[in-house]
Each structure stands twice: as structure tokens, then as C-alpha cells.
Amino acid sequence: MKNKKTKEKQSKYLYRNADDKPEFAKIEEEEWECPCGPDAMRDSFWPCDNYGNLIDPNGPMKKHKILCQYCGRVFHSTTGQVILRRNVEDIDKEFDRVYG
Ligand SMILES: [Zn+2]
């Protein structure tokens, strides 16, 4: 019973693509490539919190996640697994606030 609950919680929490499969960034020699495409390879990843909100890059980076600014996928910072996907329509305002 307890295990079942945990499982449901996890499957809701972790992002799945249209085929209902978990997604990962392609990581090669510390270069990340997002599932949204090779065009986003350069400068598209930013440190964020568990919900994909940009965080101060000079602050503590202990458990940060990684956001792709183009598609809004939020990645685990070491495994590259996609945890969730957020709306990035207003991402420029967030950049102004955090990096401006
Ligand atoms: Zn992306």
C-alpha cells in the first residue's frame, strides 16, 4: 500500500514524453543536448530550483536543477533526466530579474 502510493507520486512528478517514456538530456563530455534539438545546444541551460524557476548563479548550487530556456524542460543536474516541463513564455522577464 505504502509502496503503491510512492510509485504514483513519482510517476506524476517525473515528466514523460508523448510516448509515456522518461526523457534525458544527451550528455557527452559535459556538453548537454536537450531533446528539443541541437539548435538549443549553446547557452540554453540555466540553474533553477525544483520547479524550474531561475536561481541566482552566485547562490548555493547544492541541489539545483537545470532549465532549458527554449522548451522549459527541467533536468536533474547529474543524471540529465527530465523532471518536469514549465512554461517559458515570460522567461526574458525572469532573466532580467535574476541576471539583470
Ligand atoms: Zn530544450
Q: How far is the CA of 28 from the centre of ligand 1 (A)?
A: 16
Residue 7 within any structural domain of the chain = no
Q: How far is the CA of 23 from the centre of ligand 1 (A)?
A: 11
Range of 57's domain?
Answer: 13-99
Taking 3-state DSSP, the helix, strand and coil percentages for the chain, each rounded to the nearest 5, stand at: 25, 25, 50
Our count of domains for the chain comes to: 1
Residue 22 within any structural domain of the chain = yes
Q: How far is the CA of 80 from the centre of ligand 1 (A)?
A: 12
Q: pLDDT (tens digit, 9 = 90+) per residue, 42-95?
A: 678 999 999 999 998 888 777 899 999 999 999 999 999 999 999 999 999 999
Residue among 61, 42, 53 at smallest CA distance from 84 = 53
Residue 2 within any structural domain of the chain = no
Q: How far is the CA of 16 from the centre of ligand 1 (A)?
A: 14
pTM of the model: 0.81
What is the grid cell recorded at 56? Answer: 541566482
Amino acid sitting at position 27: I
Taking CA atoms, 60 is separated from 35, 82, 88, 89, in Å, by: 27, 22, 23, 26
Q: pLDDT (tens digit, 9 = 90+) per residue, 32-57?
A: 899 998 776 567 899 999 999 999 88
Residue 84 within any structural domain of the chain = yes
